């Protein structure tokens, strides 16, 4: 499948390709164009638009395109739901949703500005979202096994979490 969005990616437009490649379509191809050309590319390439004007998969209310893609493709993963909160906090300038959002915004700004093009920015952002997913998964494991973890020393906790991440 081909996917199209606005050029000069930042938070939502780096998070969405990661989400799509990891959980929806591993062979997805991404096209980045000026805003006014998105509709033309949708028609010409039979691409799916996201985070662009008049796209189904875009911001709705307080939710961002990442949320819209999760909903549309019925991605039900509690870890991704936590990642989505951080993406939403960073992309909608609502830090109260997740304090990690400010850091994600700063990192994606740095990645986007240093990349030669949007494809490079997406490649460079991918390990960040992989790490964010592991961070969120670790937090969920901690909360689910709080009583067990309280009885462990730091080395045991680390090994327990690493084992459960897999």
Q: What pLDDT is recorded for position 151?
A: 95
- And the tokens for 149? 């973890």
Q: What pLDDT is recorded for position 62?
A: 87
Q: What pLDDT is recorded for position 93?
A: 75
Can you tell me the distance from the alpha carbon of 1 to that of 55, in angstroms, rounded to the nearest whole number? 16
Exposure on the CB side of residue 133, measured as CA atoms within 13 A: 15
Q: What pLDDT is recorded for position 94?
A: 84
- pTM (2 d.p.): 0.93
User: Which stretches in the chain have pLDDT values below 50?
Assistant: none
Backbone angles phi, psi at 96, to 5 degrees: -65, -20
Q: What pLDDT is recorded for position 99?
A: 94
Can you tell me the distance from the alpha carbon of 57 to that of 120, in angstroms, rounded to the nearest whole number? 23
Q: What pLDDT is recorded for position 41?
A: 97
- And the tokens for 112? 């986007």
- And the tokens for 115? 């990349």
If DSSP codes are grouped into helix, strand and coil, which group holds residue 33?
strand
Q: What pLDDT is recorded for position 148?
A: 94
**Counting beta carbons within 10 angstroms of the beta carbon of residue 122, is it exposed (0 to 12), middle (13 to 18) or buried (19 or more)?**
buried
Q: What pLDDT is recorded for position 87?
A: 97
Q: What pLDDT is recorded for position 166?
A: 85
pLDDT digit string, tens, across residues 79-123: 999 999 999 999 987 888 999 999 999 999 999 999 999 999 999
Can you tell me the distance from the alpha carbon of 152 to that of 166, in angstroms, rounded to the nearest whole number? 20
Contacts of 95 (CB under 8 A, 6+ apart): 89, 101, 102
Q: What pLDDT is recorded for position 61?
A: 87
Contacts of 50 (CB under 8 A, 6+ apart): 3, 4, 5, 13, 16, 57, 58, 65, 68, 69
């Amino acid at each position: 499948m081909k996917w199209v969005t606005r050029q000069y990616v930042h938070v939502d437009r780096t998070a969405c390709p990661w989400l799509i490649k990891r959980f929806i379509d591993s062979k997805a191809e991404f096209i980045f164009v000026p805003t006014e050309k998105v509709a033309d590319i949708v028609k010409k390439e039979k691409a799916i638009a996201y985070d662009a004007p008049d796209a189904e998969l875009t911001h709705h209310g307080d939710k961002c395109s990442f949320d819209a893609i999760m909903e549309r493709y019925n991605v039900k993963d509690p870890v991704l739901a936590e990642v989505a909160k951080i993406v939403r906090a960073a992309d909608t300038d609502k830090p109260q949703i997740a304090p990690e959002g400010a850091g994600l915004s700063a990192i994606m700004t740095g990645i986007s500005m240093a990349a030669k093009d949007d494809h490079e920015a997406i490649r460079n952002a991918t390990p960040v979202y992989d790490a964010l997913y592991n961070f969120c998964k670790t937090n969920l494991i901690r909360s689910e096994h709080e009583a067990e973890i309280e009885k462990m020393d730091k080395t045991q906790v680390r090994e327990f979490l690493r084992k459960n991440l897999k």
